Amino acid sequence: MNSVVFQNHEGMPIASLVMSAPVAPERTCVFINMCFTVELFQSRESEILLPGRPTEYSCRYDQAGDGFTIAFENQNGWRITVNLDDEAEGQWSAEKNGERIEGLAQGLTGDSCAT
C-alpha cells in the first residue's frame, strides 16, 4: 500500500497521504489536498492535515496485528497516527497539546481500482 485517504466522520475526503516505496518501516510521506468544498477545506481537520504547502515527512509504517499503523509528526507539531485493518480500512487521529481530532481512513491497495 502506497497511499491512504483521510476522511472526516461523514466520509468526505480531506487529503491523501502518499508514501514512498518500497515498503519499509521508515518511509517518506507527503499529503495531497483532496478537499472539494470550501467548507471542508476550512474545517479543523483540514487545518491540521493541510497546514501549508506540501511537506515531506519521515513516517513509520509498521505491521500491527492483522493491519498496519502509520505514524509521523507534521510541521505544526501534530502527532498523526493511522490504524488500518487487514482490509486497509480504519481511522486516523491527530494529537497536540491535549487536543485530539479523529476521522476515517482508507488505504489504497492494488485491489482498490479492481472492478
Question: pLDDT above 90 covers what percent of the chain?
Answer: 33
Please indicate, yes or no, whether the overall pTM of this predicted structure exceeds 0.85: no
Which cell numbers in the block locate residue 8? 472526516
User: Please, what is the Cα angle at 86 between 81 and 48, to 5 degrees?
Assistant: 20
Query: What's the chain's length in residues?
Result: 115
- Please give the pLDDT value at position 91: 97
Per-residue pLDDT tens digits of the chain, which is 115 residues long: 688 999 998 888 988 888 887 666 788 888 887 767 778 788 888 888 887 766 788 888 888 788 989 999 988 899 999 999 999 999 999 999 999 999 999 998 765 444 4
- Residues 49-65: tens digit of each pLDDT: 887 766 788 888 888 78
CA dihedral 103, 13, 69, 49 (to 10 degrees): -80
Q: Which of 3.30.559, 1.10.10, 2.40.128, 1.10.8 is the CATH number of 3-108?
A: 2.40.128
